[in-house]
A and B are shown apart, each in its own frame.
Chain A
Amino acid sequence: DGGITQSPKYLFRKEGQNVTLSCEQNLNHDAMYWYRQDPGQGLRLIYYSQIVNDFQKGDIAEGYSVSREKKESFPLTVTSAQKNPTAFYLCASSTRIELFFGSGTQLSVL
């Protein structure tokens, strides 16, 4: 079954802790993305990667980091520098037209 898998579905972060959200795709897409969704704010772009070993900052990259060591994987680390991390995080991959989204990770702060 082709698609995008995000894990975990729910994640809790303690003060000062870094956490990593997983995103894996088997669609053979070159491009992958991370978006943050807050209620009433739509989707805001955090990072994107057009090809392995390359990625670019989006509009709200501060406090986040990514890696793209494999075509299938694009993990997002929410660092302790991100002071307001509570949000719904969506990973996506893309043909040159549409985005395919994973089912998301809800991150909350303890």
Chain B
Amino acid sequence: GQQVMQIPQYQHVQEGEDFTTYCNSSTTLSNIQWYKQRPGGHPVFLIQLVKSGEVKKQKRLTFQFGEAKKNSSLHITATQTTDVGTYFCAASNSGYALNFGKGTSLLVTP
């Protein structure tokens, strides 16, 4: 399946600091999705990016899709303890099946 590499694997920040996770592919992606999984929970859809260079914001979260559609990032401004969890990117070339990155686990210390 479509391989997406995600870095870093873990990130520990103080509350109020910013956080960024990156997702990279060796091939061009038709779209990319981001999910959040709280500890002990299941993944929840955050957003889908489709267009080259697309930037979308959800409150303190900013999602970007690269110009070449081979990379994406999720940036959280001024983290809060409620941001704790694992963030996954997921992609498919076409069709229905998504392939997930290994995720970035975010820990926020008050």
- A positions within 8 Å CB-CB of B: 31, 33, 35, 40-45, 48, 50, 56, 58-59, 90, 94, 96-104
Please report the number of residue pairs spanning A and B whose Cβ atoms sit closer than 8 angstroms: 53
Main secondary structure, interface of A, reads strand
> Separation in Å of the B89 CB from the closest CB of chain A?
10
- B positions within 8 Å CB-CB of A: 1, 6, 9, 33, 35, 41-45, 48, 88, 90, 96-103
> Separation in Å of the B32 CB from the closest CB of chain A?
12
Looking across the interface, which residue of chain B has its beta carbon closest to that of A38? B102
Chain B residues within an 8 Å CB radius of A56: 97
A90 to B44, CA, bound (A): 12
Query: Is there contact, CB below 8 Å, between A99 and B9?
Result: no
Chain A residues within an 8 Å CB radius of B96: 31, 48, 50, 94, 96
Task: With A59-B1, A98-B33, A98-B48 as known contacts, state yes or no: A45 contacts B42, CB within 8 Å.
Answer: no
> Separation in Å of the A94 CB from the closest CB of chain B?
6
Query: Is there contact, CB below 8 Å, between B48 and A35?
Result: no
> Separation in Å of the A26 CB from the closest CB of chain B?
17
Query: Is there contact, CB below 8 Å, between A104 and B42?
Result: yes
A99 to B45, CA, bound (A): 7
The listed residue (B44, B45, B100) touching A35 by CB distance below 8 A is B100
The listed residue (B9, B33, B44, B103) touching A101 by CB distance below 8 A is B44
